[in-house]
Structure 1
Amino acid sequence: MFEKDEWTQQELYKYTKELEKEGINVVLVDTILKPLDNIETITYNPYEMSQMPENTVFVFYCDTGKTTKERLNFYRKKLPNHKCVSLRGGRGYWRPNYQLFDEM
């Protein structure tokens, strides 16, 4: 899951479920001051984010996903004790009514 620098919306939901079982928090980070629909986000603030537990995973998004992917190394330097990932496609690919169903 952490081999890739970016997650799709489906992977975000899937990995969030898996990591929450292990007690790891996944936080969606808004870098463009445009919150996504139907999911909780926080605004990028390195100081506040560095105060979160060390096993927290931050998923950054912008309008297209390109800028946050390019800036991942910058975010990782600012938050060395946390995992940082980019949301693939950013806000443009976000489907507000998307749901992840458990397999039967």
Structure 2
Amino acid sequence: MFSDEWTQKEFLENKKALESKGIKVLLIDTILSPINGADTTLYNPYELAKEPEGSVFVFYCDTGKATLNRLDEYKKKFPKHHCISLRGGRGYWRENMTVFDDARA
């Protein structure tokens, strides 16, 4: 259903689309380093397990490599949630990137 990695653009687009359908999407900080301009959640397995079933967890580190390598671990730890790695991690995040609704008809 979901790919293992999302770019920042995919994250922003999918977050908007999924949350409009009532599906929670969280950007999970695994390195104790929040991303400026982004609403991040600190990695806390106990608290994350309480999130609604079907929520999407997008994990990030500095480069995206560690979270991608640990993705199977996250999927086993959170079987009722969708686990994804942020491609490029914190290093590729662009503070000024936004996603607009497609107004073309």
Quote how far apart the aligned CAs of 1:55 are: 1.5
1:75 aligns with 2:66: no
User: More deviation in 79-88 or 94-103?
Assistant: 94-103
SS at match of 2:57: strand
Residue 41 (1) aligns with residue 11 (2) = no
1:54 aligns with 2:74: no
* Count of residues paired in the alignment: 103
Alpha-carbon distance in structure 1 between the residues aligned to 2:18 and 2:59: 17
Give the TM-score, by structure 2 length. 0.94
* Backbone CA RMSD of aligned residues: 0.9
Equivalence for 2:5: 6
Could you tell me the TM-score, scaled by structure 1's length?
A: 0.95
**Runs of 4 or more above 4 Å deviation:** none
**Structure 1 gap ranges (5+):** none
Q: CA deviation at 1:103?
A: 2.1
Distance 2:44 2:101 in 1: 34
SS state at 1:86 partner: strand
